Amino acid sequence: MQPIDRIEIVTADITTLRVEAIVNAANESLLGGGGVDGAIHRAAGPDLLEHCKTLEGCPTGLAKITPAFALKKQGIQHIIHAVGPVWHGDESQKLGYTLEDTLLASCYHQSLTLANQHACKSLAFPNISTGIYHFPKPRAAKIAFGHILGFLSKHDLPEKIFLCCFNNTDALIIQQAIDTREDWMMNRKRMG
């Protein structure tokens, strides 16, 4: 199967998915918050917070893995807490040229690496940093898709990645990032 066929966009609350691992858009404290972080902590139950208290936080751009506690009953085994950057960047800078771009890419890479090391077959990502942290959504979508595709082309696990969007507008933004990349790949092939 081509790497691109292992990536699927879904519109859902990430806590309702039936996947082996989900990624949380956490903050450096790892002690919960709003947005998807709040939803995951509510769904996983208070044991998650107790466990997170032992982790001593996580720097921006990195990720830590925990059990899924109450979410295990629906098949989720792991939660990967990735700390995305707060966007202070300059949108006029080319993609990949801001510190925030690098840190966001690192979140995806670290999360994929942890999922791979724990032999996860399926992994779902929320749109890290694009809510409370205000990372521009189309820019984040290009970074997420590019890095996931690169990782899948070198690794058999995870077999399947779900890009979990909270609404259809966000799903469209991800789809556009994928379409743009596919057009670019086709043009590159045509030009030899």
Sign of the alpha-carbon torsion through 43, 44, 50, 54: negative
Can you tell me which of 13, 47, 50, 183 binds ligand AR6, judged by CB under 6 A? 13
Residue 63 falls in which region: left (phi positive, over 0), alpha (psi -120 to 50) or beta: beta
Any contact of residue 144 with ligand AR6 (CB under 6 A)? no
Q: Can you name the residues that pair with 130 across neighbouring β-strands?
A: none
Among residues 37, 47, 156, 179, the one annotated as catalytic is 37
- Residues in contact with ligand AR6, counted by CB under 6 A, come to a total of 24
Q: How far apart are CA 34 and CA 32, in angstroms?
A: 7
Which one of the spans 8-16, 49-57, 65-73, 181-189 is the region binding ligand AR6 (CB under 6 A)?
8-16
Per CB under 6 A, which region of 29-37, 115-123, 143-151, 171-179 contacts ligand AR6?
A: 29-37
- Pairwise CA distance, residues 59 & 29, whole Å: 9
Among 131, 139, 144, 152, binds ligand AR6 (CB under 6 A): 131
For position 34 contacting ligand AR6 by CB under 6 A, the verdict is yes
